């Protein structure tokens, strides 16, 4: 019940030299009624902390780290679409995974982006505690800022374990979010071309 006391107690525990995150995971295991010393759990705090650090590694980078010098001058002015970018993120309300596919499109205005950078941008923002709505918007805004295109469209379809495993337990429901900027917002033909392309027609 008393958080500061709980912390002081766990820091005095055998794992004195363990990173603070590992100490907290060990304490969490105790709170769940587990014995962190039993064989199967002895290295679990270390593994959980490593895994959580990796899944939230997007805090340590910004978009320019990812894009680097992969912006190219090019007169191509049709739609560029990268569909079915797989992603895994953690919902910020339960710290449970949500995952699915992200479709990103843009219409260049003199500059294009190396294609491999789009999945890396998706990773950058999904490796943070997120809500799907913000993830969608951040990808669209980052692309807009990076190359100033005539329009950007981002659609994310995801399954949320916090809905599937607990709460309403709707295993088959998927959530779709979209962010449209520029021509994707103002021109219905552009938007429907994008939506047709990602729906495979």
Catalytic residues: 91-94, 132, 160, 162
Q: Dihedral of CA 183/189/191/197: which sign? A: negative
> Please, what is the minimum distance in Å from the beta carbon of residue 167 to Zn ion?
8
Provide the binding-site residues for Zn ion, judged by CB under 5 A: 91, 93-94, 162
Report how far Cα 137 is from the mean position of its chain's Cα atoms: 12
State which residue, 94 or 120, has the beta carbon closest to Zn ion: 94
CA distances from 67 to 81, 108, 113, 116 (A): 17, 16, 8, 9
Burial of 187 (0-12, 13-18, 19+ CB in 10 A): middle
- Nearer to Zn ion by C-beta: 6 or 162? 162
Strand partners, 107: 151
Q: Select the residue whose beta carbon is closest to Zn ion and give its number.
A: 162
Rg (CA), the chain: 21
Closest approach of Zn ion to the CB of residue 157, in Å: 16
Smallest distance from the beta carbon of 174 to Zn ion, in angstroms?
14
């Amino acid at each position: 019940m008393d958080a500061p006391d709980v912390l002081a107690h766990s820091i005095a525990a055998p794992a004195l030299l363990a990173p603070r995150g590992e100490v907290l995971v060990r304490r969490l295991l105790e709170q769940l009624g587990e014995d962190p010393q039993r064989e199967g759990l002895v290295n679990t705090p270390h593994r959980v902390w490593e895994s959580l650090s990796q899944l939230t590694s997007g805090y340590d980078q910004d978009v320019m780290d990812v894009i680097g010098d992969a912006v190219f001058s090019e007169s191509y002015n049709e739609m560029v679409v990268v569909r079915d970018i797989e992603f895994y993120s953690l919902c910020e309300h339960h710290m449970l995974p949500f995952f699915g596919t992200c479709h990103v499109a843009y219409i260049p205005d003199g500059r294009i982006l190396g294609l491999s950078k789009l999945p890396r941008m998706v990773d950058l923002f999904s490796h943070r505690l997120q809500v799907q709505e913000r993830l969608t918007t951040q990808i669209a805004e980052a692309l807009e800022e990076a190359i100033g295109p005539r329009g950007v469209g981002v659609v994310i379809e995801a399954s949320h374990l916090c809905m599937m495993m607990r709460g309403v337990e709707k295993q088959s429901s998927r959530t779709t979010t979209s962010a449209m900027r520029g021509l994707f917002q103002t021109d219905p033909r552009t938007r429907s071309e994008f939506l047709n392309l990602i729906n495979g027609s």
